[in-house]
Amino acid sequence: MSGSNVGGSNMSGLGANKSGMRSSRRFRAFAITFAAVYAAVYYVALSNNWPLFSYGPAVGEWTLFNHAASDGPTMYWYGWIATSAITAGVAGVIAMSLPENFGKRLWSGLAWLIPVCAIAAIIHLLGGYFTH
Protein backbone atom coordinates (compact mmCIF):
# COMPACT_ATOMS: atom_id res chain seq x y z
CA MET A 1 0.00 0.00 0.00
CA SER A 2 2.61 2.42 1.13
CA GLY A 3 4.86 1.28 -1.75
CA SER A 4 2.12 1.94 -4.25
CA ASN A 5 1.56 5.39 -2.73
CA VAL A 6 5.22 6.18 -3.08
CA GLY A 7 5.11 4.88 -6.63
CA GLY A 8 2.01 6.96 -7.30
CA SER A 9 3.59 10.12 -5.95
CA ASN A 10 6.73 9.44 -8.00
CA MET A 11 4.59 8.97 -11.07
CA SER A 12 2.74 12.22 -10.47
CA GLY A 13 6.08 13.90 -9.75
CA LEU A 14 7.41 12.69 -13.07
CA GLY A 15 4.22 13.83 -14.77
CA ALA A 16 4.53 17.28 -13.23
CA ASN A 17 8.19 17.39 -14.25
CA LYS A 18 7.32 16.47 -17.84
CA SER A 19 4.56 19.04 -18.08
CA GLY A 20 6.90 21.63 -16.55
CA MET A 21 9.52 20.87 -19.19
CA ARG A 22 6.88 21.04 -21.92
CA SER A 23 5.59 24.42 -20.75
CA SER A 24 9.18 25.61 -20.40
CA ARG A 25 9.91 24.59 -24.02
CA ARG A 26 6.72 26.32 -25.10
CA PHE A 27 7.72 29.52 -23.30
CA ARG A 28 11.15 29.24 -24.94
CA ALA A 29 9.46 29.23 -28.37
CA PHE A 30 7.29 32.18 -27.32
CA ALA A 31 10.19 34.25 -25.96
CA ILE A 32 12.46 33.74 -28.98
CA THR A 33 9.65 34.39 -31.48
CA PHE A 34 8.41 37.41 -29.56
CA ALA A 35 11.86 39.08 -29.49
CA ALA A 36 12.56 38.39 -33.17
CA VAL A 37 9.14 39.31 -34.58
CA TYR A 38 8.77 42.40 -32.38
CA ALA A 39 12.13 43.80 -33.49
CA ALA A 40 11.42 43.19 -37.18
CA VAL A 41 7.88 44.59 -37.00
CA TYR A 42 9.06 47.60 -34.98
CA TYR A 43 11.47 48.54 -37.76
CA VAL A 44 8.76 48.13 -40.43
CA ALA A 45 6.22 50.10 -38.34
CA LEU A 46 8.76 52.88 -37.75
CA SER A 47 9.97 53.17 -41.34
CA ASN A 48 6.41 53.12 -42.76
CA ASN A 49 4.85 55.01 -39.83
CA TRP A 50 2.27 52.38 -38.89
CA PRO A 51 1.33 53.17 -35.30
CA LEU A 52 -1.68 51.45 -33.77
CA PHE A 53 -2.59 54.84 -32.30
CA SER A 54 -1.25 58.38 -32.13
CA TYR A 55 -1.05 60.86 -29.26
CA GLY A 56 -1.01 64.64 -29.22
CA PRO A 57 0.73 65.61 -25.96
CA ALA A 58 -0.13 69.32 -26.21
CA VAL A 59 -3.88 68.62 -26.35
CA GLY A 60 -4.00 65.18 -24.67
CA GLU A 61 -5.59 63.66 -27.76
CA TRP A 62 -5.52 59.92 -28.58
CA THR A 63 -6.49 58.79 -32.07
CA LEU A 64 -6.49 55.41 -33.78
CA PHE A 65 -3.71 54.73 -36.32
CA ASN A 66 -1.69 57.50 -37.92
CA HIS A 67 -3.48 60.81 -37.33
CA ALA A 68 -1.90 64.19 -36.73
CA ALA A 69 -3.02 65.88 -33.50
CA SER A 70 -5.39 68.85 -33.88
CA ASP A 71 -2.73 71.08 -32.29
CA GLY A 72 0.98 70.72 -31.48
CA PRO A 73 3.20 67.72 -32.18
CA THR A 74 2.03 64.13 -32.61
CA MET A 75 3.68 61.15 -30.92
CA TYR A 76 3.70 57.78 -32.66
CA TRP A 77 6.19 55.95 -30.40
CA TYR A 78 3.54 54.37 -28.16
CA GLY A 79 1.63 53.31 -31.26
CA TRP A 80 4.67 51.65 -32.86
CA ILE A 81 5.29 49.73 -29.63
CA ALA A 82 1.64 48.60 -29.57
CA THR A 83 1.73 47.52 -33.24
CA SER A 84 4.89 45.49 -32.64
CA ALA A 85 3.84 44.02 -29.28
CA ILE A 86 0.46 42.81 -30.55
CA THR A 87 1.92 41.30 -33.74
CA ALA A 88 4.77 39.64 -31.83
CA GLY A 89 2.38 38.42 -29.12
CA VAL A 90 0.21 36.71 -31.74
CA ALA A 91 3.28 35.21 -33.46
CA GLY A 92 4.58 34.04 -30.06
CA VAL A 93 1.31 32.32 -29.18
CA ILE A 94 1.30 30.60 -32.60
CA ALA A 95 4.91 29.45 -32.01
CA MET A 96 3.88 28.10 -28.59
CA SER A 97 1.07 26.08 -30.08
CA LEU A 98 3.27 24.40 -32.73
CA PRO A 99 4.58 20.88 -32.04
CA GLU A 100 7.28 20.63 -29.37
CA ASN A 101 9.94 19.86 -31.96
CA PHE A 102 9.60 23.40 -33.30
CA GLY A 103 10.49 24.87 -29.90
CA LYS A 104 13.46 22.52 -29.58
CA ARG A 105 14.77 23.28 -33.06
CA LEU A 106 14.20 27.05 -32.95
CA TRP A 107 17.64 28.67 -32.79
CA SER A 108 17.82 30.75 -29.62
CA GLY A 109 20.23 33.20 -31.29
CA LEU A 110 17.29 34.69 -33.19
CA ALA A 111 16.28 36.37 -29.92
CA TRP A 112 19.28 38.70 -30.16
CA LEU A 113 20.34 38.53 -33.82
CA ILE A 114 17.11 39.96 -35.30
CA PRO A 115 17.00 42.78 -32.69
CA VAL A 116 20.66 43.60 -33.47
CA CYS A 117 19.80 43.78 -37.20
CA ALA A 118 16.75 45.96 -36.43
CA ILE A 119 18.89 48.30 -34.32
CA ALA A 120 21.51 48.58 -37.08
CA ALA A 121 18.74 49.34 -39.61
CA ILE A 122 17.22 52.00 -37.30
CA ILE A 123 20.62 53.67 -36.79
CA HIS A 124 21.07 53.65 -40.57
CA LEU A 125 17.56 55.10 -41.02
CA LEU A 126 18.29 57.96 -38.60
CA GLY A 127 21.89 58.40 -39.74
CA GLY A 128 21.04 61.78 -41.29
CA TYR A 129 21.07 63.40 -37.83
CA PHE A 130 24.76 62.59 -37.51
CA THR A 131 25.77 64.01 -40.90
CA HIS A 132 23.86 67.29 -40.49
Partner 1 sequence: MWMALVITHGLLAFLLLGAITHQVVSVWAPVRAGAANFVSRFRAVGSANYANAIIVLYLVTAALGAFIYTNYRITARLTLEQGHYWKSFGAFEIKEHLIAIGLALLPAYWYFWRQPLDGADSATRKSLTALLAFIVWWAFLAGHIANNIRGLGT
Residues forming the site for partner 1 (CB under 8 A): 27-28, 30-32, 34-35, 38-39, 42, 46, 55, 57-58, 72-73, 75, 77-78, 80-81, 84-85, 88, 108-109, 111-112, 115-116, 118-119, 122-123, 126, 128-130, 132
Question: Closest CB to partner 1 among 18 and 104?
Answer: 104
**How would DSSP label each residue in 9-32?**
HHHHHHHHHHHHHHHHHHHHHHHH
Question: Closest CB to partner 1 among 50 and 78?
Answer: 78
User: Alpha-carbon distance 100 to 76, whole Å?
Assistant: 37
Q: How many CA atoms lie within 13 A of 80 on its CB side?
A: 15
Question: Closest CB to partner 1 among 4 and 105?
Answer: 105
Chain-centre distance for alpha carbon 42: 10
Question: Closest CB to partner 1 among 7 and 62?
Answer: 62
User: Alpha-carbon distance 52 to 98, whole Å?
Assistant: 28
User: Alpha-carbon distance 24 to 16, whole Å?
Assistant: 12
CA nearest neighbour of 82 among 47, 41, 118: 41
CB of 132 to partner 1, least distance (A): 4
